[in-house]
Chains A and B, each alone.
Chain A
Amino acid sequence: MSVQAWTFLFVAVSFSIYLLIAWLSRVSDTSGFYVAGRGVPAIANGMATAADWMSAASFLSMAGMISTLGYSGGMYLMGWTGGYVLLALLLAPYLRKFGHYTVPDFIGDRYESNAARMVAVVCAIFISFTYVAGQMRGVGIVFSRFLEVDITVGVVIGMAIVFVYATLGGMKGITWTQVAQYWVLITAFLVPAIAISFKLTGHAVPQIGMGSSLLSDGIPLLEKLDGLHADLGFASYTEPFTGAWSRGNVFCVTLALMAGTAGLPHVIVRFYTVKTVRAARWSAFWALLFISLLYLTAPATAAFARYYMIDSLHGRTAAELPDWFHNWRRTGLILWLDDGDGRLSYTGDGDAERARANEVFRGGTLGATELVDIEVAHQRWLDSSGANGADGREVLRARGLSGPDQDIIVLATPEMANLAGWIIALVAAGGLAAALSTASGLLLVISSSVAHDFYFRIVNPAATEAQRLVLGRVVIGLAVVIAGLLGIFPPGFVSQVVAFAFGLAAASFFPAIVLGIFSKRVSTVPAMAGMIAGIVFTASYIIGSVYAGMPSWCFGIGPQGIGAVGMALNFAVTLLLAPFFPAPSRAVREMIESIHEPEGAGPAVRIEAAPEH
């Protein structure tokens, strides 16, 4: 069977399983199978949280980013897992004891202010849309690359699947679907990593293989990589603080990702569905354990694929290049524009001469016709020895498209390791599982933010359950359509928007929730002032440096890490103002005391029956 046939089979089977699970949960629900308050077991909730957490970006792009960045790629690993520790220790058990549905619920009730609730609603919706657009794009990319259908068709299929199980299944359906999705995605990630580790180092455990010697010449892999990088003009793979990634910048980005991650609304919501405070803690542990399987493997895949890519490309002639290169060249993820000597040269931008010598590029957001134009002009330039046409290398370098697309690391690893066609197909199913599981969780957050937090708690507290249910489903439908449109027509600044989402979560939500839980003294006005200071500072800095070309005046910290400074500003403003304003009301102080101890926690929110889902 061809890779494409396997992919069709795997995608069809996995999608049927997801829909079947959603349908079964639905049937059980209407037949009154569930008892109110009966939660999801901690280990299953952990798996679902892990699938919810690991997005298309974690699955498809993270190993590639690490492969490109070397040491600095650790920012993402530490940021996303370290944020989870903050979530588990500072937020999860207390929010579980608080026991309402959403983050805006907590902010609104704790600070007794609908304005604060509204700020939280807007942040939650903004963060969720930013994310869900990326997931839909991920679905489209997987479909277009593996099944060679149009990216638009891929996004539409993804929209339809998510819509069906998010509106019919509700939280219960989504949770059990995510458990299945976790297994698909982790298998798809681990199998190629183990295979390539075994092939290069003889060790089946990638984390050990990464620190071992290569079978080919007995030199430790990382040492060999550092050597190759130095020879070819790339920044060192293992040495920290190279280029723009200074110590302060790496620190701030890591911290901003940590605090931003802890404030992600679709993951926090998970902890409301477990049975007890004790189960919330266990479920946090299981989730991080399941997440760490992928996060510990990604850097190993990154190092193996990096070595393999340089080794099998640099200095080769067209006939010597491996099959995977030819396969992925068609997608524009990797391009070769020769200088006329017939040998591929893959070099870094360590100095001007090496940067000019590089012949490996990517298509980026360029359309197929634009790429063909560039390649034709380049060929004419070669044929006429520079008299006619244009040097395509200069054109692409000027557009910042040097080097292959980072997604190729995960997509092509199975082929690099010479794995069978069905494993390559499994990676496609895994990428889809990662994208769909995250998208469904986010859509529920958007739906609950609008139907519960905005409509029921602010606009119309007298709304009936039926009204809220209808509104919740309509919002999911609308959100799927908007997310799909954003996936089909991605704004050109996706990466900045994601940095913005994390920065905003770090600078707004995180301090407000932490102080709301741990301080009985902080009241409405200081908390609001802190949130506004954090948001305004972070937003203006990011917008200023991305769109207005503002220099990074704040200690050279780039827009990705500025959320850490915004967070510090938020804490500082809130704590400085707090003594000048009266303490919160007696009711709020009692509420804080009650979430501090686990005794008498209410039953789990029966979220599958909650009207806003």
Chain B
Amino acid sequence: MREAPDTTTVDVRDPRVVDAIDRYWRRNVRIMVALLVVWAVAGLGCGVLVADVLNRFRLGGFPLGFWFAQQGSILVFVALVLVYALLLNRLDDQHHVELERIGRGARPNSEP
């Protein structure tokens, strides 16, 4: 497990840092909203609201709406949390690299 990065060299009032943090947050929210839309469509949508319509179709021996309510939605939920962990942890890494670059650029000779 990676250690928490040291950000004491970054000045939070630096406009480039403010920008970077802003960008990070917007991307974070975009990923989250996209995943929550899938969450709502799979669980509340396919599993509940249109379950009777989907039940006219079959998936193997399962009526489709019933399958979504008791199996499919759970599989989608597990996948969503996995995708979230992968995407967000990558985004965190990119953000960390970006902040480090700004930190080094701003004070090139500050290292002892």
Contact = CB atoms under 8 A, between A and B. Distances in A.
A247 B48 CA distance: 7
Contacts of B44: 78, 82, 251, 254-255
Interface of A: 41-42, 66, 71, 73-74, 77-78, 81-82, 84-86, 88-90, 93, 207, 210-213, 220-223, 238-241, 247, 250-251, 254-255, 258, 275-279, 281-282, 284-285, 288-289, 292, 295-296, 299, 593, 596-603
A81 B70 contact: no
Contacts, number: 166
Given A93-B88, A210-B62, A41 B1 contact: yes
Q: Which of B8, B59, B66 lies at the interface centre, i.e. has the most chain A CB atoms within 10 A of its CB?
A: B66
B92 A277 contact: yes
A71 B66 contact: yes
Contacts of A288: 77-78, 81
Nearest to B59: A211
Interface string B26-63: 00100010011001000110011101100100011111
19 contacts: A42-B1, A74-B47, A77-B69, A77-B73, A78-B48, A78-B73, A210-B62, A220-B61, A239-B55, A241-B52, A247-B49, A275-B1, A285-B82, A289-B82, A295-B74, A296-B71, A599-B5, A600-B4, A601-B4
A85 B77 contact: yes
B95 to A, nearest CB: 7
Nearest to B18: A593
A288 to B, nearest CB: 5
B5 A81 contact: no
A82 B67 CA distance: 15
B84 A89 contact: yes
Interface of B: 1-8, 10, 21, 24-25, 28, 32, 35-36, 39, 43-44, 47-49, 51-52, 55, 59-63, 65-67, 69-71, 73-75, 77-78, 80-82, 84-85, 88-89, 92, 95-96, 99
Contact of B43 (A41, A88, A254): A254
Given A222-B63, A254-B47, A599-B5, 8 more contacts: A78-B48, A78-B73, A211-B62, A240-B69, A277-B92, A288-B78, A599-B96, A603-B4
Nearest to B33: A89
A502 B60 CA distance: 35
Contact of A207 (B5, B69, B71, B77): B71
Contacts of B69: 71, 74, 77-78, 240
B49 A278 contact: no
A74 B74 CA distance: 10
Residue in A66, A258, A285, A292 with the greatest tally of chain B CB atoms within 10 Å: A285
A160 to B, nearest CB: 36
Nearest to A604: B4
A23 to B, nearest CB: 27
A296 B70 CA distance: 7
A604 B74 CA distance: 30
A603 B8 CA distance: 15
